[in-house]
Amino acid sequence: KKLGILISGRGSNMASLVEASRADDCPYQVILVASDKPEAAGLAWARAQGVATFAQSPKGIPKPEYEAKIDAALREAGAEYIALAGYMRLLSDDFVARWRGRIVNIHPSLLPKYKGLDTHARALAMGDAEAGCSVHIVTEELDGGEILGQAQVRIEARDTVETLAARVLAEEHRLYPRVVAEWLNR
């Protein structure tokens, strides 16, 4: 199955998907890494790995036109599914409808807790015993679609946003390739 990945920055989750896709029994190939930030570090990494890339800044372009360019790049590359990996832009209802049920995202909280930004700071402020990450289907509701898989991380008394984020990120890198493979195998 042909997977396109959208990123905005570092792209470490994208890299974990690309690396996992090289296994013989992996059900997906990464056919395009696209970014709204031409300077995203993840784009350079993907290029160096021989993965096709596409960059389109949304600056000065109406949102429908910007999304049409992303959509066209994905379709021209043959994408059948989309994985969001640190893509920091909200997709329009229209875009979601055109790819209904075929977009997944990874979010750094135990959804339905802490949708949106600053998830680790909010988990620490609430005194939670556990944090984690979730992979979910993308719908029109932000961070709201069906949850396909989660991983938990225990919160330690000495945790800061940085230490917690680092431990959750390590789990994200294990969770995302596994759940995407299960999803595309089902």
51 contributes a contact to ligand GRF by CB under 6 A = no
CA 56 – CA 31 distance, rounded (Å):
17
Task: Output the smallest distance, CB 170 to ligand GRF, in A.
Answer: 11
| CB burial readout 51-83, b (16+ within 10 A) else e | bebbebeeeeeeeeebbeebbebbeebebebbb
Has 37 been labeled as part of a binding site? no
Task: Output the smallest distance, CB 62 to ligand GRF, in A.
Answer: 25
Site for ligand GRF in 54-93 (CB under 6 A): 85-86
Catalytic annotation, pick one of 107, 120, 136, 173: 107
Has 98 been labeled as part of a binding site? no
Shortest Cβ contact with ligand GRF: which residue?
86
Residue 80 in tokens: 């059948």
How far from 167 is each of 159, 174, 179, CA to CA, in Å? 10, 11, 18
Site string for ligand GRF, 102-131 (x = CB under 6 A): ----xxx-----------------------
Has 14 been labeled as part of a binding site? no
Please spell the DSSP secondary structure of 73-141, one letter per residue.
HHHHTT-SEEEESS--SPPPHHHHHHTTT-EEEEESS-TTSS-SS-HHHHHHHTT-SEEEEEEEE--SS
Has 35 been labeled as part of a binding site? no
The verdict on whether 136 is a catalytic residue reads: no
13 contributes a contact to ligand GRF by CB under 6 A = yes
Has 126 been labeled as part of a binding site? no
CA 33 – CA 75 distance, rounded (Å):
12
CA 41 – CA 11 distance, rounded (Å):
7
CA 42 – CA 7 distance, rounded (Å):
7
Number of residues that bind ligand GRF (CB under 6 A): 15
Task: Output the smallest distance, CB 82 to ligand GRF, in A.
Answer: 14
9 contributes a contact to ligand GRF by CB under 6 A = yes
Catalytic residues: 107
Residues belonging to the binding site are: 11-13, 63, 88-91, 105
Residues at the interface with ligand GRF (CB under 6 A): 7, 9-14, 85-86, 106-108, 133, 169, 172
